[in-house]
Amino acid sequence: MAKQVIEKWMHKFIPDQEVIKRHKSLQFLGDKLHDPNLWHLNRKSISMAFAVGLFFAWVPTPTQMAFAAAAAIYFRSNLPISVALVWVTNPLTMPPLFYFAYQVGLTVLNQPAQPDFSLDSVLSGLGDIWQPFLLGCFILGVISSTAGYFGMKAFWAYHVRKKWTTRHNQPRFARYQTFNANVWRR
């Protein structure tokens, strides 16, 4: 059930693997993109994909997708989901999320806020705000990554338990018919 839900979501929003393999910003990965493990949907690859994608969503560079793809290959996580989750920080969500990261960094460093924090100052060299901003991005990246990893593991386990409970609660004869129907459909 969980696999079907994720596959439906994946086919709806994420491009086909052939499109990803031909993407110009991912060509530096070469033949490593042809590893079938990067495209499988299982508990480990999906959980790790959420960890990779949500961590690199907080990296304030225009090459987030390339970093996420390289990390997905290294950790053998699901590549399309890793790359797609980077878009949590998109042009609409970047200003409030990065401002929040800056505030987290200020709180951890126990510094007063700088009056010149703006999107322009972030994009044009960071000036005096780089330490709290990057620290906040790192902290939120680690928190998001950890929450995504364990959240997907829990989501997957919940759906597997639900499927087994549903199957176990069926009368034995109904289970046998379901099994036979699935075998003969192939």
pLDDT in tens, 32-87: 777 777 777 788 889 999 999 999 999 988 889 889 988 998 898 988 889 889 99
Contacts of 146 (CB under 8 A, 6+ apart): 51
Element (H, E) at 64: helix 64-75
pLDDT of residue 185: 53
CB 77 within 8 A of CB 100: no
Q: What is the mean pLDDT of residues 172-186?
A: 55
**167 pLDDT more than 80:** no
**115 pLDDT more than 70:** no
- All structural domains of the chain with their residue ranges: 2-185
**Total Cβ atoms within 10 A of residue 95:** 13
- Alpha-carbon torsion 181, 160, 51, 143, what sign? positive
Say which residue, 139 or 117, is predicted with more confidence.
139
Round to whole Å and give the CA distance between 38 and 132: 35
Quick check: helix, strand or coil at residue 71? helix
pLDDT of residue 14: 60
Burial class of residue 41 (count of CB atoms within 10 Å of its CB; 0-12, 13-18, 19+): middle
The confidence band for 122, taking pLDDT boundaries of 50, 70 and 90, is: low
Q: What is the mean pLDDT of residues 155-165?
A: 87
Q: What is the mean pLDDT of residues 131-154?
A: 94
pLDDT of residue 173: 59
Both tokens of 139, joined, read: 């902290």
